[in-house]
Structure 1
Amino acid sequence: MSSKMKNIQLLSCSSLLTIGLLIFFAFSMELQAETVQPSSTQVRVENPYLIHPGDILQISVWKEEDLQREVLVLPDGSISFPLVGQVVASGLSIEALQGSLAEALRQYIPDPVITVSATQLLGNRIYVLGQVNKPGEYLINRPVDVMQALSMSGGLTAFGAANKVKVLRRNGDKQIVFPFKYKEVTEGENLYQNILLKAGDVVIVP
């Protein structure tokens, strides 16, 4: 057999081996992808707490004894503070409100250092209604999802339509409805339904 024919055979064998390895690698990756299951313990990034009407805040300015106040966030979402007057607080994080106050006070005090803390989170309320054992209004001071809210309300009654739960959320002039299938979530399926609730959300179990 000529050396040319041998080279062709070697090249063909090498090509077949390469193709075989590529097919094996692709098949292995496919098997690996199929065995990956969504984890029910995924880390959920939690947004900072946003101030709500009804919350009580403690505000102080460093080295300014006359600028220390405990203020109530009014129904319109504003607070009143010396020198700056009315300031919008609702919808802001604590850090954002500190920045807003510092900017407003800068014309009176050079480089003011503001400290804001929430002493009572009275505006952060959710509602669980319908076929639960303890329906009503719930004050929350931490992130709460739908399952946790249902647990706080004593769970579903025997008459509750477990797969027809709804979360109502007001967004301006519109109302958004989030369907929630209790049985699916308890079985570890479609966990995306278990959303974090926001102030004013209403969970309804028909």
Structure 2
Amino acid sequence: MRRFNYGALFSVLFYVAFLAGCAPLAPNVDPPSEYTYIIGPGDSIEMFVWGNPEVSRTIPVRPDGKINAPLVEELPASGKTPFQLARDIEKELAKYIRNPLVTVIVSGFVGPYSEQVRVVGQAANPQAVPYKENMSLLDLMIVVGGLTDYAAGNRATIVRTINGEKQQLRVRIDDLLEDGDITANVNILPGDILIIPEAYF
């Protein structure tokens, strides 16, 4: 029977913690200006066609990012804004309805993976969170329920794509949550990954 190599696992965890300790502090960058929600798989779409209630209905965005509705089949929805999707639906409906006017309302917000903020490691409730305008680190920690008793909050890092390259930036969650140091509250950007390691002891 093959034995698990705990020494190798400890070495890997120590190396990851070492890299986190060397990471620069995350700067408090400005949030995206005029952020517009992007539709993703799992979202629920309310398609309202003015003057045509028999065509209007609520439909889900399938895992492949497409929607099916009356007179609209296999239409890509993921990656579009509600305004863009409404115009695409109008083009499809125009084959059957004269001058259709469509409004798209999104509910059950999930968003595409590229826009979600992921929290992994020693959070009370690790999860993927839809990005919200002006989201901060404190907002994110409230959503995931804070830290576990075993978390090393000041060694947490954000993996962020900057100019096409992934960079690891350190954040000070312990200082923010335990000491109330508001200078540790940095802005979160779409697609950020927050990694919260376990304390050594």
TM-score when scaled to structure 1? 0.61
Which residue of 159, 180, 183 maps to 1:188?
183
User: Relative contact order: is structure 1 or structure 2 higher (C-alpha 8 Å, sep ≥ 6)?
Assistant: 2
- Give the Cα–Cα distance (whole angstroms) in 2 for the partners of residues 43 and 197 of structure 1: 9
Deviations 1:64-115 (A, max 9, x none): 1221121110001111122231111111111111111112222222221001
- Give the Cα–Cα distance (whole angstroms) in 1 for the partners of residues 168 and 36 of structure 2: 22
Q: Is the 8 A contact 1:180 1:194 kept in 2?
A: no
Tell me: CA distance 1:187–1:169, structure 2 relative to 1, closer, same or farther (3 Å). Answer: closer
Number of the residue aligned with 1:197: 190
1:76 has 2:76 as partner:
no
- Give the Cα–Cα distance (whole angstroms) in 2 for the partners of residues 135 and 68 of structure 1: 37
Number of the residue aligned with 1:24: none
1:93 has 2:93 as partner:
no
Where structure 2 has 5 or more consecutive residues not aligned to the other structure, the ranges are: 1-27
1:155 has 2:146 as partner:
yes
Q: Is the 8 A contact 2:31 2:189 kept in 1?
A: no
Number of the residue aligned with 2:35: 47
Higher helix share: 1
1:64 has 2:57 as partner:
no
Number of the residue aligned with 1:26: none
Which letter maps to 1:93? T
Where structure 1 has 5 or more consecutive residues not aligned to the other structure, the ranges are: 1-39
Q: Cα RMSD between the aligned structures?
A: 3.5
Bigger radius of gyration: 1
Q: Is the 8 A contact 1:79 1:88 kept in 2?
A: yes
Identity of aligned residues (%): 28
